[in-house]
A and B are shown apart, each in its own frame.
Chain A
């Protein structure tokens, strides 16, 4: 949040800690951690479209899961290096195209605000129900069996290359690839939201009609934003599926669909970092609680959600940012910080 050197230092430290995770906590931690990082990508895709453009989608998991299944289908059938590279590119392309199509259907069809939310939720449910009944042997694409509620297993690891030159990405490599993807995507999105397009997004979020009257094609802006969100969610989905070598319809279910909304609501939807942090923290707590046999994970998560929305609806990270700025103001009486001012915090992260 913000441009200060303190922020960048903090970010660098956080990334360094995450990079050191396998060394500090072992390979198994890296395995589990990679899943959380993939979730963080999913969460970030929602924060981008919701926090910056006002599009609350319960359907980001649809793109997440579609990319996962697409990768599985292609990769199981084409296990060569070239095939796996193709699988990677194609699966992200598929989720992106799906997002573009759905976005066109909604925005150019005049579907507004809460109905976008509802429609995206129903899309996820359709996928959940449909994939759930793909259990029979007739439901397979080539060698890839969709598997119904049992899911599709045997999804190969990530690999990139052509012919016989390339690299297969093992467990440790996969962790770093996921971390790298998260960091690069974050930096890219950050640059985007601080650009002219970012201002256009925010203006669209604040008052769509007014913004159209400044010459912006707000429908197209929403389409582009939604498509980018689908691409990022798809990237997360591929990384998630290749981590466990498995994907099943629960990625499309109501609980899964609501989780990104939980992370973004708690972490702060206008904060990419906040949402990432919330995703990592919440999923980690969920994991630890499940591990210790406790059944209280969902109770904690649900209560946290209720509490945050009622008490600090903007989310934890923006609230923290406010405190930091207030204490900075008290501490030093110089008028205006050189970078984009406090009130426009949304624009600086």
Chain B
């Protein structure tokens, strides 16, 4: 985990390519090396506020590593991360969450021994007072279709319900940027459609910027504003889903290539 650095500089010439103050996230030269392996290779990434970006790429391309660098769970070997106008490269995970970044982990990580309501209390405690817990919990559970699971122990929920709960918990901290690592893995077609709708809502209505890692191309097609393709740790292509789908090079890195 990154150590906390109290000196947070406001971004210098963050946008050398032109002023655009609606950018919620920008990385410059972000690099992560593990011993001899370069997992993230000089990535310059930019995201607008309220944008829904899908991150795709073959296995081992460094997608999860990239998200972990953004959350602070991994420390970069080099490069900077700018969020909402400030340099957060040195900040610890919990400090980044305080500023409005939130994450849904790849493996469902709800608190299995606690009830659904108690699960929500953990993030809610950070943003509202105790008198508002019930109201906010009701709001979130209703929105995510879990209202009758209030007292259910999270470990007893179905996989799909746990995914939804975790997204609900990630929303509870009122983020401006949410990172989701494979939110529909293992879900049925119906459940996947539900989540797709939810995510579009969150991006559109709530104005939350989203980065979603997924393998399901149909799902990506349903939700993405833009798509970034990673390969071997660096950005291979970026564009709309139509452009990406039509690109033969993208097909090649999925099918062939040396990984």
Contacts and interface: CB of A to CB of B under 8 A. Distances in A.
B79 interface: no
Interface string A248-278: 0000000000000000000000000000000
Contact of A214 (B113, B126, B153): B126
A5 interface: no
B125 A213 contact: no
B236 to A, nearest CB: 28
A336 interface: yes
Nearest to B121: A199
B1 A343 contact: no
B113 A215 contact: no
A170 interface: no
B117 to A, nearest CB: 9
Given A203-B122, A215-B123, A343 B115 contact: yes
B70 to A, nearest CB: 11
B60 to A, nearest CB: 22
B99 to A, nearest CB: 9
Nearest to A218: B94
A340 B125 CA distance: 17
Interface stretch (B21-29, B32-40, B102-110, B220-228): B102-110
A346 B85 CA distance: 42
Contacts of B103: 213
Interface string B89-123: 00011100110001101000101111100100111
Nearest to A220: B94
Contacts of A215: 94, 97-98, 123, 126, 173
A196 interface: yes
- Interface of B, secondary structure class, is mixed
B97 A213 contact: yes
A180 interface: no
B71 interface: yes
A212 B114 contact: no
Given A199-B125, A214-B122, A344 B94 contact: no
Given A199-B125, A343-B153, A212 B109 contact: no
B66 to A, nearest CB: 16
Contacts of A202: 111, 114
A343 B114 contact: yes
A212 B97 CA distance: 8
A336 B153 CA distance: 13
Given A213-B97, A215-B173, A344-B118, A206 B113 contact: yes
Given A217-B92, A217-B94, A203 B111 contact: yes
A28 to B, nearest CB: 45
A340 B111 CA distance: 16
A344 B121 CA distance: 13
A140 to B, nearest CB: 43
Interface in A200-238: 200, 202-203, 206-207, 209-218
A334 to B, nearest CB: 13
A196 B125 contact: yes
Nearest to A270: B113
B122 A209 contact: no
A155 B113 CA distance: 47
Nearest to A196: B125
Contacts of A210: 105, 109, 111
Interface string B71-93: 10100000000000000000011
Enumerate the 4 nearest inter-chain pairs by beta-carbon distance, A residue then B residue, closest first: A215-B97, A343-B153, A210-B109, A212-B93
Given A216-B126, A218-B94, 4 more contacts: A206-B112, A209-B73, A210-B105, A344-B113
8 contacts: A200-B122, A212-B97, A213-B97, A214-B126, A215-B173, A341-B115, A343-B114, A344-B118
Interface of A: 196, 199-200, 202-203, 206-207, 209-218, 336, 340-341, 343-344, 346-347
